Structure 1
Amino acid sequence: MALPIGQQFRYWGIAAAVAMIALWFLGDVILPFIVGGAIAYGLDPLADRLERWGASRVVATSIISVFAILIFVLMAVLIVPMIVNEAVELFESAPELFARLRDFLSERFPELGDAESTLRQSLASIGKTIQERGGEFAKGVFSSALGVINAVVFIVVVPVVAFYMLLDWDNLIAKIDTLLPRDHAPRIRQIAKDIDTTLASFVRGQLTVCTILGVFYAVGLMLVGLQFGLVIGFIAGLISFIPYIGAVVGGVLAVGLALFQFWGEPWMIGAVAAVFAAGQFLEGNILTPKLVGESVGLHPVWLMFALSVFGSLFGFVGMLVAVPVAAALGVLARFGTEQYRKSLLYRGLDRDDVAEGPE
């Protein structure tokens, strides 16, 4: 006899609560394992493709691991230091940029020339604050990230976890399948398949889109000659998983800096704006339709809400799991909505009406 629905909800609710509490208390400890598992999940399709081409799972995993380590080392040695330096320089130059903005506004609006003007004082205060706090923030973020990356435990654990999880991924999924409640196994498999489809289409595809856009923006701005073009392109690409936000934030920063750097050269300012216009065209018409698709994307508001909630509750680990959890909850919400539409609660019929059917 199957367990009543109420008891099943109680047991699974307790299990979910225990998982959340464990995530709360073990956030920093399990970070390498979450990162390693995420890497294995992302690389599993590539390993499966190599297997179809005739390689064993061990050989496929070894090839992927070697190339992944080489790419990671090259990025850490060549790209990250450049981004850090430009970010620090951008924060350090903030007071000068705000001073020039103040002078520009003073020329157009003479009433702002008053030293006691609220706007004048605000601009000066903002510039000093960004210089004092922004530089520390940039150095702290990157130094913390580099500190974690350079920590012996992180360096050792993440590749090892990723390697073994990638090696045993199919066996791991098969073992998890044997633990599913037999009464609900087919439905759980279908929900898990839908979640995997969402993650594969959105997360993997969107990461590829963000990477391509980041490189495009950075290279385009550097070719135009914009100062701090590399860090602005990196920021724009990093947040491009939220539609339009990456282009808007990056475009405002880039055009704002271009106004100071290329004042009197409108064609150069237009060139900076054209880089982001071309990036938006590339994203909307080529990259997103091809790599992400249109049917499984997560709503930007839901995505920002999940990032805010999980980031505030669980810190950096929460930020890492926010997108997968948001995707899973989105699938579960669609499933729940579908079940609700089939229920008596939605249809407004009693059981006798359902049994008799329409006359």
Structure 2
Amino acid sequence: EETDFEKTIVDSLNIGFIPNFLNSFLDVLSTASIGLFSVLFISFFFLKDSNLLQSGILAFVSSDSEKRTVHSIDKINNLLSRYFVGLLLQIFILFVIYTITLFIVGIENAIVIAFLCALFNIIPYIGPIIGAVIMVVLTMTSNLGMDFSTVILPKAGYVLIGLAVGQLIDNFFSQPLIFSNSVKSHPLEIFLIIIIAGLLFGVVGMVVAVPGYTAIKVILKEFLSENKLVKSLTKSL
């Protein structure tokens, strides 16, 4: 028979937060997915049909500014091409680490799960968290029929170690390499831009922050090169 203390504990437990948490997580996941694939779609056509884009822009530009506009578009195209190549390298490195981790743990569909979680890393700060939650949850749910303390928990621990290794490599190797060699911006500068864009425009803003900021810097350097603030911001371009 239950004691009064046990009844109090049971009564105080409220599992109603679980559906709300799942709904909130799915909302963030769907928003992140829309932002991610929208940016990839737009970026692909920007790089593929840059001449068409250039012709469209030049139709609205005066003849005096045409040369500088063409130079700006070429510069933006070059920097963003290198940026997206860097992102592909980043995704590939994480994909390899995550795939190896999931294969060691013995998770079904390891390649698909690893690719999905690596792809979400494109979203700054939020993406790695979403990927980590997905990977850990799928690891635990794929072993539901087994003992929690001897099977499920250790496997989840191995996955967390793999995630930690992937993020360490990403933070100290991949991201500095991408930002320094492609968009020519300081990591602190990138951090502030991503945070501001995220506060103003949400997840989509965080994804487009770096490419958008890079394009703005190139345009400012081309048209306002004598401005002191512009000089200090674009000296590395």
Q: TM-score, normalised by structure 1?
A: 0.40
State the shift of 1:209 in Å: 2.0
Between Structure 1 and Structure 2, how many residues are aligned? Answer: 205
Which residue of 162, 171, 184 maps to 2:65?
184
Structure 2: 5+ residue runs without aligned partners?
Answer: 35-40, 231-237
Alignment of 1:38-117 (within 5 A): 114-117=9-12
Which residue of 194, 210, 215 maps to 1:328?
215
Q: TM-score, normalised by structure 2?
A: 0.54
Q: Which amino acid aligns with 2:149?
A: W
Alignment of 1:297-312 (within 5 A): 299-303=190-194, 305-306=196-197, 309-310=200-201
Q: Which amino acid aligns with 1:294?
A: S
- Once the two structures are superposed, residues 145-166 of structure 1 have per-residue CA deviations (whole angstroms, 9 ceiling, x without a partner) of 8xxxxxxxxxxxx9xx96xx95
State the alpha-carbon separation in 2 of the partners of residues 326 and 308 from structure 1.
Answer: 15
State the alpha-carbon separation in 1 of the partners of residues 11 and 176 from structure 2.
Answer: 53
Residue 182 of structure 1: SS of its match in structure 2?
coil
Which structure has the larger Rg? 1
Q: Which residue of 2 aligns with 1:220?
A: 101
Given that residues 217 and 276 in structure 1 are in contact (C-alpha distance below 8 angstroms), is that contact kept between their aligned partners in structure 2? yes
State the alpha-carbon separation in 2 of the partners of residues 114 and 277 from structure 1.
Answer: 36
Q: Which residue of 1 aligns with 2:119?
A: 238
Residue 181 of structure 1: SS of its match in structure 2?
coil
Residue 209 of structure 1: SS of its match in structure 2?
helix
State the shift of 1:256 in Å: 7.1
Q: Which amino acid aligns with 2:94?
A: L
State the alpha-carbon separation in 1 of the partners of residues 18 and 61 from structure 2.
Answer: 57
State the shift of 1:328 in Å: 2.1
State the alpha-carbon separation in 1 of the partners of residues 216 and 25 from structure 2.
Answer: 37
Q: Which residue of 2 aligns with 1:263?
A: 149
State the alpha-carbon separation in 1 of the partners of residues 30 and 56 from structure 2.
Answer: 39
Given that residues 193 and 210 in structure 2 are in contact (C-alpha distance below 8 angstroms), is that contact kept between their aligned partners in structure 1? no
Residue 149 of structure 2: SS of its match in structure 1?
coil
Superposed CA RMSD in Å reads 5.2
- Percent identity between the aligned chains? 25
Given that residues 243 and 300 in structure 1 are in contact (C-alpha distance below 8 angstroms), is that contact kept between their aligned partners in structure 2? no
* CA shift in 2, pair 1:278/1:289, >3 Å: same
State the alpha-carbon separation in 1 of the partners of residues 68 and 133 from structure 2.
Answer: 47
* CA shift in 2, pair 1:204/1:307, >3 Å: farther
Given that residues 120 and 131 in structure 2 are in contact (C-alpha distance below 8 angstroms), is that contact kept between their aligned partners in structure 1? no
Q: Which amino acid aligns with 1:116?
A: D
State the alpha-carbon separation in 2 of the partners of residues 112 and 272 from structure 1.
Answer: 37
Q: Which residue of 2 aligns with 1:349?
A: none
Tell me whether 1:196 sits opposite 2:77 in the alignment.
Answer: yes
Q: Which residue of 1 aligns with 2:162?
A: 275
